[in-house]
Amino acid sequence: MPLTFFTPGPAQLYPTFEKHLQNFVSGQLGSISHRSQQYRDIHRFTVEQLRILLNVPETHAILFLGSASEIWERILFSCVELESFHLVNGSFSKKFHDYSSALNKYAHQLEKPMGEGFNASEITVPEYTELICVTHNETSSGVQMNVAEIHKLKQKHPNKLIAVDMVSSAPYPDLDFKLIDTAFFSVQKAFGLPAGLGVWIVNEKCLKKAESIRHQYSIGAHNDLPTLWKNSLNNETPATPNVMGIYLLGKIAEDFNNIGVKNIRKETELKAQLIYKFIEKSSGFSPFVKEKPQRSQTVIVANTETPSADIIKVVKDKGMVIGSGYGQFKSSQLRIANFPATSTEQVQELINALEVI
């Protein structure tokens, strides 16, 4: 019996994945040159579908890299000469911060404990900050930063660049790319694809910044922004890309567009509501994130009274996989992914299984 994965990534593969994979294989697309028109058509199609899905204007390029972690590094290389500023409230926002230090930038941070989130009004951005780094969805703790708060933060600091990590939430957050300079995600989360591809949305301001930095500091050699950008104008990448991942992503994005991103967002909220309601009302479970507006719609974290490993086991025997807590919360929390690949019916089944416990 196949399992249903409610894990926060790698996650359940999207129902149409196998069909698209079969077409990739039968079309021999794994062998085509990445300098051929056939490749460029695939590349362009995926970019077009993502533009529609995420409402990305032509001021922004959509670029393909190996992973979201690689994109952290490329953003810092490109957009920060000296100082970045990070909202840190979990393991992944912390890593983004640590990457900046590792590149010998001065990485400021405003840190909160896991489970807590940020509002624009409480944030003081250090004066010489060049790039503000926010995490829309902290995969480790299930905290989400409201999109309106992200927009406010940028509006208060129009002359600083802002980067939004939406690794485990895209296409859920409805970002306004007139405000957001750069954002990124990976495909093994809400897009329901195997891991191995990161997507970088980035505007001309970031490109200009990279071009100005490069006279004095290294902006990296592999996948540096000016080279990526230049190649993208021709629907190509500097090095041989993950053609399979790019092809599949375009097809899934098209599927999402056929459903309509508004419908996907609405269904995400509906399913999240079901799960949170269950966690709130059931003894033995409680939501980790106290502030309701900061509760993630895509990665739901629950405190458990019994060791989470026991619950994971019982649920797995019923054909469903849920994630353990992250780091120090490994044994006292559950992480339940709520991505488009799992239907309302499947979420209801999961709740039924948890109810028995």
- Cβ neighbours of residue 227 closer than 8 Å, sequence gap 6 or more: 238
How far apart, in whole angstroms, are the C-alpha atoms of residue 106 and residue 84? 6
Q: Map the footprint of a copy of itself across residues 255-314, applying CB under 8 A.
A: none
Cα 150 → chain centroid:
15
| Closest approach of a copy of itself to the CB of residue 121, in Å | 31
How far apart, in whole angstroms, are the C-alpha atoms of residue 7 and residue 28? 31
Structure tokens at 295: 């509760």
Q: Does 340 bind a copy of itself (CB under 8 A)?
A: no
User: Of residues 61, 132, 183, 243, which one binds a copy of itself by CB under 8 A?
Assistant: 243
Peptide bond preceding 10: is omega within 30 degrees of 0, i.e. cis? yes
Q: How many CB atoms lie within 10 A of CB 85?
A: 26
Nearest residue to 62 via CA among 157, 257, 201: 201
First to last CA, the chain: 22
Stretch that binds a copy of itself, among 20-28, 51-59, 156-164, 203-211 (CB under 8 A): 20-28
| Closest approach of a copy of itself to the CB of residue 316, in Å | 12
The answer to whether 187 touches 249, Cβ cutoff 8 Å, is yes
Stretch that binds a copy of itself, among 6-14, 117-125, 145-153, 272-280 (CB under 8 A): 6-14
For every residue of 100-124, DSSP letters joined together read HHHTT-EEEEEE--TT----GGG--
How far apart, in whole angstroms, are the C-alpha atoms of residue 288 and residue 235? 43
User: Of residues 242, 268, 298, 308, which one binds a copy of itself by CB under 8 A?
Assistant: 242
| Closest approach of a copy of itself to the CB of residue 163, in Å | 14
Stretch that binds a copy of itself, among 47-55, 117-125, 215-223, 294-302 (CB under 8 A): 215-223
Burial class for 326, CB neighbours closer than 10 Å (0-12, 13-18, 19+): buried
At residue 313's C-alpha, the angle toward residues 317 and 18, to 5°, is 60
Stretch that binds a copy of itself, among 18-26, 80-88, 252-260, 271-279 (CB under 8 A): 18-26
Q: Does 215 bind a copy of itself (CB under 8 A)?
A: no
Q: Does 33 bind a copy of itself (CB under 8 A)?
A: yes
Q: Does 99 bind a copy of itself (CB under 8 A)?
A: yes
By beta-carbon proximity to a copy of itself, the closer residue of 120 and 228 is 228
The answer to whether 187 touches 193, Cβ cutoff 8 Å, is yes
Stretch that binds a copy of itself, among 53-61, 170-178, 211-219, 287-295 (CB under 8 A): 211-219
- Give the per-residue contact string, 170-189, with a copy of itself (x = CB under 8 A; - = no): ----------------x-x-
Stretch that binds a copy of itself, among 31-39, 42-50, 176-184, 251-259 (CB under 8 A): 31-39
By beta-carbon proximity to a copy of itself, the closer residue of 126 and 238 is 238
Q: Map the footprint of a copy of itself across residues 69-98, applying CB under 8 A.
A: 69-70, 72-73, 76, 98
For every residue of 180-235, DSSP letters joined together read -SEEEEETTSTT---S--EEEEEEHHHHHHHHHHTTTS---STT-HHHHHHHHTTT
Q: Map the footprint of a copy of itself across residues 309-328, applying CB under 8 A.
A: 321, 323
Q: Map the footprint of a copy of itself across residues 106-165, applying CB under 8 A.
A: none
**Site residues (vs a copy of itself, CB under 8 A):** 2-3, 5, 7, 9-13, 17-18, 21, 25, 28, 30-34, 65-70, 72-73, 76, 98-100, 102-104, 186, 188, 193-197, 217-224, 238-245, 321, 323
